[in-house]
Structure 1
């Protein structure tokens, strides 16, 4: 249910930067003193060789300038996210790429450089792309966090980061086509959600094995995005190619609490990190344009 208008409808462009490849992900560092630092991930398919290439660009921004500090050449990057808490006083960045590899980088001290920490590649002969990732630390900090990753074959993978090494805990098949998105329920990281091109929205609990506890088919197209709200227990937002953002109480997933029609297919959703009241929505208006909007949301059904 939408009850508030976004605080501002006008956006002014302060800086521009032209990337060599297609820019597909931007993530701001959540940790002091680097909250003016962000990473931009890139993806490019070479039509002649079929190779997917990319890079990670590390920027800082002020009111006066946009500064590029580092460029890391990698395989094409499909998703990247910062760990919500520091580990060993490092800000850690998880990166999912087109070579079925999860990589971890660290931003250490005051030196604005990302250092490679560790990686883990899927042991699979098939051409597989890692499509999305999420950290378990959204609500509760951990020195040994888990990371969940979805891939282009419809599988979900759970990793654990321990002593700067990635350990693959388990993998399971979730979707018949691409598993576009996966996400932890931050209030209980035993619970994981995933969405796929088969229009299914699944709920898993590692305490109950790898089979889904529930399978929701309310989305009318591929499920591409989801995000747990750390300020409101039980609330999860999902987005789809069907141009609709939906809000759920995870205790009762038969019907959504409310929905909002968007101007185009949704690609990413993210709750604001401060009040947890507004939802940033990235949606596609045509094949080359990705726009963003704010959705104000409250729910009448957030208590048992």
Structure 2
């Protein structure tokens, strides 16, 4: 007999429109932000090949990028692109040379850059950069573009890796040029992200529970080191409309808001039903966080001001680890309705859902 206290609350204003079973484990979804392709998104996959012997050799990690288009009536697979296993992917916020550009972090210590061909609506590989390293295994764990607030024809990219390092690049002339590497964390650096209001500033979070602030103008050492998180820091997202506001997520199940000028203590926090993996500010009101909480479902957290966080809706369609979550940039009914995409590991489930925001 089930315990009523364990029953999950019903969705209030989230309606599943489409589901899709991926062949491999699904761990990331990202919507294209640019017209006329705001109905297009990518779902990344990560699969660990089963070992047939007891050797200590690294097992193969492989995956693919699935490119979809969506409407309220149809989810359509446009392309399947075989790759190494993917840990993270992000679209550059503005087009570069008229193209939508996708950055991809993979398990072969490589960052890849793809362009969306406007005519064929297919992804084409432009360039890649493999981190110089020893022969040991290195995974690129996350990446972010500098363009969340200000457009750039030569955008910068920051990424983090499984050795705890942070790397910064400039994308220029269709090439990635490394601008520097920073020693950040004792263990995996799960996340690196720009402060969009001043791209010289970027942040990182690691499995050592440390939350770091860097300023490229100040050299290689972090300018701030915070140890308030009680477990690994997994997600960081700058608010592009609210200056100084930054959100972090952690394995300690807490979502925290920060004023980046005063990083000794967060301005507010809220406990979620599971460990955090991804946080995304909505692109319309910039006051709703979409939170992928691994085994605790997907949630919409409202922030009317830096002192108040509230879970206003919950989504439990995924029966395993919810890693990926993102907002569509194309509003429905004048921002009163939005689309989200979510995905989960092991059950290989991708969902596209409609969300009501007018009463939340």
Normalising by the residue count of structure 2, what TM-score does the alignment of the two structures yield? 0.79
Summarize the alignment of residues 174-213 of structure 1 with structure 2, pairs less than 5 Å apart: 174-213=184-223
User: Does 2:137 correspond to 1:135?
Assistant: no
Is contact 2:257–2:306 with CA below 8 Å preserved after alignment? no
- Supply the distance in 2 between the matched residues of 1:63 and 1:83 (Cα, whole angstroms): 25
Summarize the alignment of residues 111-130 of structure 1 with structure 2, pairs less than 5 Å apart: 111-125=120-134, 126-130=136-140
TM-superposed deviation, 1:10: 3.6
| Partner residue in 2 for 1:79 | 88
C-alpha offsets along residues 155-186 of structure 1, whole Å, 9 cap, x if unaligned?
00001100101111111210000000010000
C-alpha offsets along residues 239-276 of structure 1, whole Å, 9 cap, x if unaligned?
00000000000000001100011001011101001111
User: Does 2:111 correspond to 1:102?
Assistant: yes
Summarize the alignment of residues 114-263 of structure 1 with structure 2, pairs less than 5 Å apart: 114-125=123-134, 126-263=136-273
| Partner residue in 2 for 1:22 | 25
Does the C-alpha gap of structure 1 residues 93 and 189 become closer, same or farther in structure 2, counting only changes over 3 Å? Answer: same
- Supply the distance in 2 between the matched residues of 1:15 and 1:236 (Cα, whole angstroms): 32
- Supply the distance in 2 between the matched residues of 1:91 and 1:255 (Cα, whole angstroms): 38
| Partner residue in 2 for 1:293 | 299
| Partner residue in 2 for 1:278 | 288
- Supply the distance in 1 between the matched residues of 2:215 and 2:119 (Cα, whole angstroms): 39
Q: CA RMSD in A?
A: 1.2
Is contact 2:167–2:182 with CA below 8 Å preserved after alignment? yes
| Partner residue in 2 for 1:59 | 68
- Counting matched residue pairs gives 290
**For 1:37, which of 30, 35, 40 is the aligned residue?**
40
TM-superposed deviation, 1:91: 0.2
TM-superposed deviation, 1:299: 2.9
Structure 1 ranges of 4+ moved more than 6 A? none
User: Does 2:112 correspond to 1:91?
Assistant: no
SS in 1 for 2:21: coil
TM-superposed deviation, 1:143: 0.4
Task: Considering Cα pairs closer than 8 Å and 6+ residues apart, tell me whether 1 or 2 has the greater RCO.
Answer: 2
Point out the more displaced range, 11-20 or 180-189.
Answer: 11-20
- Supply the distance in 2 between the matched residues of 1:271 and 1:62 (Cα, whole angstroms): 22
- Supply the distance in 1 between the matched residues of 2:168 and 2:265 (Cα, whole angstroms): 28
TM-superposed deviation, 1:18: 1.2
Give the gaps of 5 or more residues in structure 2.
1-10, 53-58, 308-360
C-alpha offsets along residues 18-48 of structure 1, whole Å, 9 cap, x if unaligned?
1111000000000000000000000000121
Normalising by the residue count of structure 1, what TM-score does the alignment of the two structures yield? 0.93
Give the gaps of 5 or more residues in structure 1.
1-7
- Supply the distance in 1 between the matched residues of 2:24 and 2:299 (Cα, whole angstroms): 24
Is contact 1:225–1:238 with CA below 8 Å preserved after alignment? yes
SS in 2 for 1:55: strand
